[in-house]
């Protein structure tokens, strides 16, 4: 092997160039007021306007803004894809040509966020005609997007899907070409050979997992995912300490957070090496929880999906070498409570695999109810679903609250969800990026405006 090649390999195995402790540290290089993409990648963009023309007004409702303030009567004013202002209920200080939507008696709040989705997951029965590169994967995912947006979920984080499907969907939603929530995508799940998702389970079948061996391959996998469009890096045990360290080091150097589907001692290793978030309520020691709190490692518990899983599959998680431990509903709730008591920041994710998305919005509401079961108030649970989830997405400067300058992702509920979580099922209006995408509880697909043909293309009279 030539000297230059060896030097390249050594540089890759070592610390990444300009490595930093946190992904967000990279942003110090951005200029003040510089327009960048509305995702954690923060790619510079031209200052072209976004969202629909004009002003949209939600008048007469009660505003739950997600900041921690109690709900109050008020009017929300949106301009293009941003929140312009939150007015007193008596004010009519908006342009005469604004579109006014009467939301009297309803609650206006930030759009919900789901931190754990798999948009292209195969539904049973599995067809042998489908393969990981089949366009059917994209259509499956597009159908799921409709269920999420109908449920008032305006952002989803996809943490393992087929190939480039989530990246493509992200672009189509951003153009408002298909109805759905914003997509923040990890791409594929990175694990070691035979690790979670690559241990003979369905995930390996559907092509949403990549297996790599050694720190160099893990580092290169992170670079590849970033180059394809990743907003976050998702890793899973099993892994070596060198492998997880390389992935975290590389992701942070590129400006991305790392979340880990790991369990038992692997959680401890990931936390020690600087991971940003741990998925699921899987077993961990009190020492690991203490270290998570000390290092500011966040959590996406996804408790309810296991309740669903145990009930549907006979009380256990069978056949997986990455689930070799005892756990169940009571143990999972205890992990949730121990993390809350330790002061760990936690968000809301559903992890709805196969056909479970068809139960929405119930799984999302039940996840919130688990949070109230361990001591969150109802408003605090809603803040976890909005403001906190935005923080965990690394998007809290743009999403999660109804404040001037934030992106116009808004949910209108025919009820008082800050008092009664079940009212979240009463979705009336959903606005994503300033576009009204659900109205009267139904997805809105406006009629297209025909593009005029050139005069010389018209038939002669």
Same domain (yes/no): 267, 328: yes
Residue 66 within any structural domain of the chain: yes
Enter the tokens of residue 324: 């070799």
Enter the tokens of residue 5: 């090649």
Residue 318 within any structural domain of the chain: yes
Q: How far is CA 51 from CA 54, 174, 181, in A?
A: 9, 9, 14
Q: Which residue has 């000390």 as its token pair? A: 294
395 within 8 A of 183, measured Cβ to Cβ: no
d(CA 57, CA 209): 44
For residue 279, the SS3 value is strand
pLDDT of the residue at 288 = 98
Same domain (yes/no): 177, 301: yes
Residue 355 within any structural domain of the chain: yes
Same domain (yes/no): 244, 363: yes
Last residue of a domain, one of 392, 424, 452: 392
pLDDT of the residue at 112 = 99
d(CA 165, CA 180): 14
Same domain (yes/no): 253, 218: yes
| Cβ-based neighbours of 201, under 8 Å, separated by 6 or more | 319, 320
Last residue of a domain, one of 392, 420, 454: 392
pLDDT of the residue at 316 = 73
Same domain (yes/no): 134, 223: yes
List, in sequence order, the alpha helices (H) in 74-210. 136-150, 165-174, 202-205
Enter the tokens of residue 379: 């408003």
CATH number of the CATH domain containing 276 = 3.20.20.140
| Cβ-based neighbours of 173, under 8 Å, separated by 6 or more | 145, 180, 181, 182, 183, 432
For residue 72, the SS3 value is strand
Same domain (yes/no): 270, 362: yes
Q: What is the pTM of this model?
A: 0.94
Same domain (yes/no): 283, 377: yes
Same domain (yes/no): 199, 99: no
pLDDT of the residue at 6 = 43
Residue 291 within any structural domain of the chain: yes
Residue 459 within any structural domain of the chain: no
Same domain (yes/no): 218, 363: yes
* pLDDT, one tens digit for every residue, the chain (461 residues): 454 554 455 455 445 554 567 888 888 899 888 999 999 999 999 988 999 999 999 999 999 999 999 999 999 999 999 999 999 999 999 999 999 999 999 999 999 999 999 999 888 766 655 566 678 899 999 999 999 999 999 999 999 999 899 999 999 999 999 999 999 999 999 999 989 988 865 555 567 899 999 999 999 999 999 999 999 999 999 999 999 999 999 999 999 999 999 999 999 999 999 999 999 999 999 999 999 999 999 999 999 999 988 877 776 777 778 788 888 889 999 999 999 999 999 999 999 988 999 999 999 999 999 999 999 999 999 999 999 999 999 999 999 999 999 999 999 999 999 999 999 999 999 999 999 999 999 999 989 989 888 877 777 77
Same domain (yes/no): 65, 117: no
Residue 37 within any structural domain of the chain: no
Residue 28 within any structural domain of the chain: no
Same domain (yes/no): 259, 305: yes
Enter the tokens of residue 355: 């056909």
d(CA 384, CA 294): 20
Q: Kindly report the number of other CB atoms within 10 A of residue 27's CB atom.
A: 14
- 266-283 burial, b at 16+ Cβ within 10 Å, e below that, comes to bbbbbbebbbbbbbbbbb
Dihedral angle sign, alpha carbons of residues 323, 368, 364, 84: negative
Dihedral angle sign, alpha carbons of residues 343, 349, 350, 353: negative
DSSP conformational letter for 44: B
Residue 348 within any structural domain of the chain: yes
CATH number of the CATH domain containing 94 = 2.30.40.10
pLDDT of the residue at 64 = 98
pLDDT of the residue at 10 = 45
Instruction: Count up the domains in the chain and report the number.
Output: 2
Domain residue limits at 377: 113-392
d(CA 201, CA 278): 21
DSSP conformational letter for 152: T
Same domain (yes/no): 92, 240: no
């Amino acid at each position: 092997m030539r000297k230059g090649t060896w030097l390249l390999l050594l540089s890759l195995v070592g610390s990444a160039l300009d490595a930093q402790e946190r992904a967000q540290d990279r942003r110090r290089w951005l200029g003040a007021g510089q327009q960048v993409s509305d995702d954690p990648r923060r790619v510079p963009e031209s200052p072209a306007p976004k969202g629909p023309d004009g002003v949209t007004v939600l008048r007469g409702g009660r505003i739950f803004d997600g900041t921690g303030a109690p709900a109050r009567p008020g009017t929300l004013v949106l301009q293009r894809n941003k929140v312009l202002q939150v007015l007193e209920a008596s004010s009519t200080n908006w342009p005469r040509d604004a579109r006014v939507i009467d939301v009297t008696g309803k609650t206006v709040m930030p759009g919900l966020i789901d931190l754990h989705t798999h948009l292209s997951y195969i539904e049973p029965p599995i067809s042998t005609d489908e393969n990981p590169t089949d366009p059917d994967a994209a259509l499956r995912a597009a159908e799921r997007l409709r269920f999420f947006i109908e449920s008032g979920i305006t952002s989803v984080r996809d943490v393992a899907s087929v190939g480039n499907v989530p990246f493509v969907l992200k672009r189509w939603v951003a153009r408002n070409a298909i109805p759905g929530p914003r997509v923040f995508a990890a791409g594929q799940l990175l694990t070691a050979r035979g690790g979670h998702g690559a241990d003979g389970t369905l995930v390996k079948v559907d092509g949403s997992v990549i297996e790599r061996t050694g720190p160099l391959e893990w580092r290169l996998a992170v670079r590849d995912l970033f180059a394809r469009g990743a907003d976050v890096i998702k890793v899973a045990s099993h892994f070596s300490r060198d492998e997880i360290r390389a992935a975290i080091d590389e992701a942070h150097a590129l400006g991305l957070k790392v979340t880990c589907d790991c369990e038992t001692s692997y959680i401890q290793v990931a936390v020690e090496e600087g991971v940003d978030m741990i998925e699921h309520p899987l077993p961990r020691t009190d020492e690991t929880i203490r270290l998570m709190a000390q290092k500011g490692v966040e959590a996406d518990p996804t408790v309810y999906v296991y309740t669903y899983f145990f009930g549907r599959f006979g009380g256990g998680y069978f056949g997986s070498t990455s689930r070799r431990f005892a756990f169940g509903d009571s143990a999972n709730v205890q992990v949730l409570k121990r993390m809350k008591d330790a002061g760990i920041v936690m968000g809301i994710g559903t992890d709805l695999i196969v056909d479970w998305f068809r139960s929405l919005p119930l799984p999302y509401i039940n996840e919130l109810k688990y949070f109230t079961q361990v001591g969150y108030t109802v408003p605090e649970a809603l803040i976890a679903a909005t403001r906190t989830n935005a923080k965990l997405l690394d998007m809290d400067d743009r999403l999660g609250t109804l404040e001037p300058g934030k992106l116009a992702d808004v949910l209108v509920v025919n009820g008082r969800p800050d008092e009664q979580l079940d009212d979240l099922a009463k979705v009336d209006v959903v606005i994503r990026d300033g576009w009204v995408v659900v109205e009267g509880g139904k997805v809105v697909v406006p009629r297209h405006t025909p593009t005029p043909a050139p005069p010389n293309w018209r038939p002669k009279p």
